[in-house]
Chains A and B, each alone.
Chain A
């Protein structure tokens, strides 16, 4: 480059200037500061980093500080294609770049118009300004109203990691601030996790199953009931090892008979070329009762097991036979409800008793009105078949989730950061910590009804009057039901604070939004395998934090500092100090169990430590209980499987009787008074983790005309003049969404499938009941409790109608900007 003097430069540039004008000096006020500074920085490093996620272990290729490829762990038996989306999520164009505050909230505080939340008028603020605002608001609410006015029950699929556990970190900070209202249970299994302790004395849904090698060797008839393990085992709550696929492959290799009961032809049906039975949605209990009635009618039920290992069958039997209510729950009766021919029902019952059979049930059957009945009836049916506790027999509620059944190792448990609150007594899954607690899915009802009493599992409490809600690691504006009702209820809040790494619908409805790092921008440590405890993984930082994102830990530490509680929050440790402490506690425990682990430095350098499998490969759930129920009782009042629960009888709930019962849901396909003709199967998505990764490149592989897909039976489509690839409006009295149609016989007539987790995308956020442009199934679902017992969500209770969309163009065609670059 030729060096020239300043005067020469001015003259030259003036000559070359292509604008024939001069700018007045005053115009300089129009310009912001430069984004550039003098002084070059060295190029960032290249390398490879092993880390992990909800989708498995991977090695990231890093080029000049940028992650450019994720390669699955070489020992992963079934890596998920979603890893590509995980990488994409780091660099999502919807990343939140810096702290922002809703303009009106910034100007007027809690006097701001709450109906304009979600309109997108966010203003950038500094980190210090944002943290000051939050700290002062927490102090205001805690001081004025007390901890009962702060909702910290923030729920969702946070990232894995024992330190950067954002929901626990939030509660840790809020406990130091004075306390908060918590949420009990979850959205996945709320009904099951309340009913199962009454029936089996334990949680069931998040517990190890009879190990896959035992199933592969012994099971003769495998029934996946509303479970699609080929799809859902791709993900794990911690770091999945994908061992479930090894078990499924062994089952297939042996040629074991597989039956799938599901309204939709699932990936599991295809994988096994399975026999497929398609009941009408929400009628599983009727179908089970019809099978149970067949067993009794044909004297096929195992009276010895029922006598020795269960309690209350005698009280259930009159209901089953119809002696109690005049309605025998026969196969014919069930067929009228569920649509499965009576002969098929009877045949299925006979085959279950005539061979070693396993009923592997999913959870969708309990995410519906009266959902408690489904798993209770399944256990009752399994008890009548009498194979619980036998190798490869009985039932399992987690073969589809987090690779349940993968043999457990002898490794130690890994601890993690705690919320610092007082330990609550009682079973962990029912523990209610915080100043108060509500069933987590009743959050909208809570906001609508402060001071009103509610029932929950035998208790009666009062909904608190919430002023401030703080959400991290979750997306309630996707996972909660009846979006339009929820939007209105949210106006109750003075202040809504959210951390996220991307602009989810929840983030867009915040008053204050803070940008959090992804787990690939920080160091952490996590268990491999939810049930197997295969080992411990060093979740190493892959890239530097993007934009102004900060770790949730650092954010809450800074807030605690502003509240004068920093030392109590960090206990004198930094990120690596905490991680090392968790590892060393596990190593100490391992040593006591005879499992030697390397020192922390060696572990961190290696990135992983794996544990040995010994007895875990031959584990049979309930074998000891079966063998001697007196010496090995269950945790129920009788120590037996409770087909009749006196505890539930005492509660006197009109929506949860004391034994498994068929109860009509609020609405169902062809049900009494059904207002709409189609059931919406809001199943878990194949290429997402609920709503996670919806904003990534993976969407290009499944979206139809830019919308969430809607699978529709050819007969239903033809009746409405709908063709493959059409954009349709799906609607009911609760809302309306657009989807793209795929016409397929994979769904039964009368059912459409729209995966849950599509990002809510309102056409006009200010308009009540506005059209959701993308396809959020929970715009349509009913926000009612499963019952007074479980108070779970009813995300599968939904019927609707479909019509070809003829409104103004709102598809993403005009927005496929990157495609234009092709």
Chain B
């Protein structure tokens, strides 16, 4: 392919994005040390609750969905065939 090199064609740029994400994660969870949230429910007050819940929720979501494929996945033309 002879077109120009785009921003994410360079692996170091992808790495930069990932490191930026890590930095943002550290900053936001670090904020929990000195920012006192007002809370409605005691769970909200647990240190890093939203961060940990978000991370775990997504990992669980993907792992369960991956397992569900074994149960649910059929060929693309499944409904187009007789059977």
- Do A and B interact with each other, yes or no? no
